[in-house]
A and B are shown apart, each in its own frame.
Chain A
Amino acid sequence: MAFLRKVLAIVWKDVTAELRTKDIFSAMAVFALLATVIFQYAFDLRAENLRLVLPGVVWTTVTFSGVLGLSRSFILEQDRGLLEGLLLAPMDRSAIYFGKLIGNLLFITAVELLLLPALSILFDVWLLTPPILLFVALGTLGFAAVGTLFSAVSINTRAREVMLPILLFPVMVPVLIAGVRGISGLLDGEPLTDLLQWVRLLLAYDVVFTTTAFLLFDYVVEE
């Protein structure tokens, strides 16, 4: 319980800072909306194509805008010299990981709650159904779990935020495939029970990589 309180303290710190500056959320949200508009022009969508490309549009927009937020997650701490303070705090360092992960999840989810209705209107396909949200939520968890770890890795590199997508995207492929395939199936009218193997794949990914990231996070921030 004491551990949970420490995690929540970090989440509270990040959310409060974000509510005051709105740096991360505004950048992610505007980028996400820009991306949807650009996709609309890029694909020059016609009615019969909508359901074919929309799942891909959802996931590329979520990952591209998500990477923006993830890359800020540790850079802000580093630029203001706060990371040392966090590391000196008397607590298990995995609390920092889970605090950051939950914070990132909240920011990405907030953007998704804006993005999905916007896509629904622009593409005239209703996306806010529970099965679709299940796929989005599971995919976002896997994305944020690996992304939070790599965000802490990338602040140590020369190029910092440029490094994050290069590290993250190749490892992200299973989430993209399962997410796109799941939403495509649902939009094609397949029942969720036919798509359970994709749900299981996402669950497996989430469990494997949240655990791995939790175990390896200590090595990333030590010094």
Chain B
Amino acid sequence: MASTSVPSNPPSKRSRSDAVWTVLTALAAVSVAVALYLSLVWAPTAVNFTTETERLSQRIFYFHVASGWVGFFAFFVTAVSGAVYLITRRRRWDAVALSSAELGVTFTLANLFSGMVWAQTTWGKPYPIEDPRINTSTIVVLVYIAYLMLRNAIADPERRARLASVYGIVGFLSVPITFLSIRIWRTIHPAVIGTGSETAQGGFDLAPDMVVALLFSIFAFTVMYAALLRWRLKLEDLRDQVDGLKALAAGGDR
């Protein structure tokens, strides 16, 4: 009696979505491997750096930019899904917002740490306080850690989804203003290391092959994000099923 009423998708629908999921995951694995080859082997070495370390660490750039882009895009998805949740009240959108926020924190941290490794080799210090991008990344990570903490602190699912959506929207709107404020701050206070290094960073001419490697890395990371998002949503579905079964089991006991 209990086992027949377990909620589940109709088999045909589920197998089709599983197929899409498998293809997406495979595509992500292959394209990240290709992106690794393109950015570490195939792309030409930057010519204008003086030391070997600087030339090699320039290759961080491909994955650094890709993870930064995916992080920002993930937070955009969180904000939009939050807004859609507030309008439609469908739990699925909240699950998308949560999954995307977790992925966004992961990718932004990858962006931040790869940037710090590069900054150490090229600028001579891991955390250049005068650089607007690294500061913005740090603050954005803190915004979304607060988002995840807020979710953890609310037990009721409906209330959690509603308040997290509100915070996801406000948090996302603050990102461009934060970036702008740090950038104005810096143009007024030109830093000794910052100005020289900005030219060093912009200084390597993007050869056409470098552009190809960069664009492909961004593509690969975006596909990886989409695959991971699907995995994470699957996990949320399974959690729901477990909760449903637990409720059924508890009901059967009584």
Interface residues of A (CB under 8 A from B): 146, 149-150, 153, 156-159, 163, 166-167, 169-171, 173-174, 177-178, 181, 197-198, 201, 204-205, 208-209, 212-213, 216, 219-220, 222-223
- Residues of chain A contacted by B182 (CB below 8 angstroms): 173, 177
Decide if the interface of chain B is mainly helix, strand, loop or mixed: helix
Report the stretch among B42-50, B107-115, B143-151 that lies at the interface. B143-151
B165 close to A156 (CB less than 8 A): no
The 17 listed contacts between A and B (C-beta, < 8 Å) are A150-B167, A156-B159, A157-B150, A158-B153, A166-B146, A166-B149, A167-B167, A171-B170, A173-B174, A173-B182, A174-B177, A177-B185, A208-B173, A212-B170, A213-B170, A219-B86, A219-B166
Given contact pairs A173-B178, A177-B181, A197-B184, A216 touches B150 in the complex (Cβ within 8 A): no
A212 close to B173 (CB less than 8 A): yes
Docked pose: A156 CA to B178 CA in angstroms: 27
Decide if the interface of chain A is mainly helix, strand, loop or mixed: helix
Q: Count of A-B contacts with CB under 8 A?
A: 84
CB < 8 Å neighbour of A174 from B142, B146, B166, B181: B181
- Residues of chain A contacted by B188 (CB below 8 angstroms): 181
Given contact pairs A177-B185, A213-B170, A205 touches B86 in the complex (Cβ within 8 A): no
A219 close to B162 (CB less than 8 A): yes
B212 to chain A, nearest CB (A): 36
B169 close to A156 (CB less than 8 A): no
With an 8 Å Cβ cutoff, the count of chain B residues facing the other chain is 29
B129 within 8 A of A: no
A173 close to B150 (CB less than 8 A): no
- Residues of chain B contacted by A177 (CB below 8 angstroms): 181-182, 185
B146 close to A157 (CB less than 8 A): no
Query: Which residues B160-219 have CB closer than 8 A to chain A?
Result: 162-163, 165-167, 169-171, 173-174, 177-178, 180-182, 184-185, 188
B139 within 8 A of A: yes
B155 within 8 A of A: yes
A201 close to B177 (CB less than 8 A): yes
